[in-house]
Amino acid sequence: MPDIARAENPLDLTFSTDELEQYREHITSFISRQYEVSGADVAVIGLSGGIDSTLTSHLTVEALGTGNVYGLVLPSKVNTEQNMSDAERVASQLLDIEYDVVGIDPLVDAVLDANPNVEAGKDAAELQVPVGNLRARFRAVLGYFEANRRNGLVVGTGNRSEAAVGYFTKYGDGAVDCHPIGNLYKQQVRQLARHLGVPGELADKTPTAGLWDTQTDEAELGIGYDTLDSILALHVDGPLSTSATARQVGVDERVVEDVRAMFEASAHKRRAPPSPEPLH
């Protein structure tokens, strides 16, 4: 597991109480508009037990009402029992929305069994990332299956920090109709969640995409979220140079360069697939 880069005093990006209420209103209004213009009958949200989907589902229920939100809990063998329990707790106890639990392992196994280039029990290390992304893409497939079946709007749960460095699966968790919390850095997601009354143990839990065993976001990224947020705000989204950002945040310049490299390498994930310019 790589060392995780952390700043001693990361930039404070937290909101004031007034700002929290402004963002709350801004996001719920956005959800309402997206729902209205889509002509949907229900909002479909994948629930992982993590803070991003928990906050998004709270805001969506606030915007649309309990009866207009449907949750999908999509466990696989690499998801922890605690996370899946938290996902169901959010749906049933905290929000009281309709939800279903659909295991995705049979779907993943079917693809692997059908592929003549994959031998069962072999190449586990080489398959870790492709299979992890396959799990994310099956979650998107199931979300859109229910959206088609129910005339639904698929509501995404991605945040600004993950989008900036490409920490999402293309056509997986990035395949949605809208991203309500897409302008919030991770630490702001946690803060707004607490402001809305999300229990602290959910707001502060270790983030994981649930792609493979023991996977955590920060270990895979090699950087703590608070430090990442600071670098993004000052350097990628802001005006400071690499050296100035490193001094301000309290990290080595290499850490800032690594974040910039992740941002540039993942640009294709944030754009629509390109087409050539028309000849005429």
Asked whether residue 250 is domain-assigned, the answer is: no
Asked whether residue 50 is domain-assigned, the answer is: yes
Convert the pLDDT of each residue in 3-56 to its tens digit: 667 766 678 899 999 999 999 999 999 999 999 999 999 999 999 988 999 999
Q: Residue 1 above 80 pLDDT?
A: no
The CATH number assigned to the domain holding 84 equals 3.40.50.620
> Per the structure, how many domains does the chain have?
1
Which residues lie across from 71 on neighbouring strands? 45, 99
**pLDDT band at residue 59, thresholds of 50, 70 and 90?**
very high
Asked whether residue 226 is domain-assigned, the answer is: no
pLDDT value, residue 203 = 83
User: How much of the chain, in percent, has pLDDT values that exceed 90?
Assistant: 72
The structure's pTM equals 0.90
Asked whether residue 158 is domain-assigned, the answer is: yes
Average pLDDT, the chain: 90
Better pLDDT: 254 or 84: 254
Asked whether residue 278 is domain-assigned, the answer is: no
Q: What is the mean pLDDT of residues 183-208?
A: 89
Asked whether residue 9 is domain-assigned, the answer is: no
What amino acid is encoded at 227 in this protein?
A: T
Distances 196 to 15, 21, 174, 175, 190 between C-alpha atoms, Å: 13, 9, 25, 26, 10
Which domain covers residue 148, as residue numbers? 17-210
3-state secondary structure at position 98: strand
Asked whether residue 143 is domain-assigned, the answer is: yes
Q: What is the mean pLDDT of residues 219-235?
A: 91
Asked whether residue 47 is domain-assigned, the answer is: yes
Rounded to the nearest 5 degrees, what angle is found at the Cα of 165, between the Cα atoms of 54 and 170?
A: 75
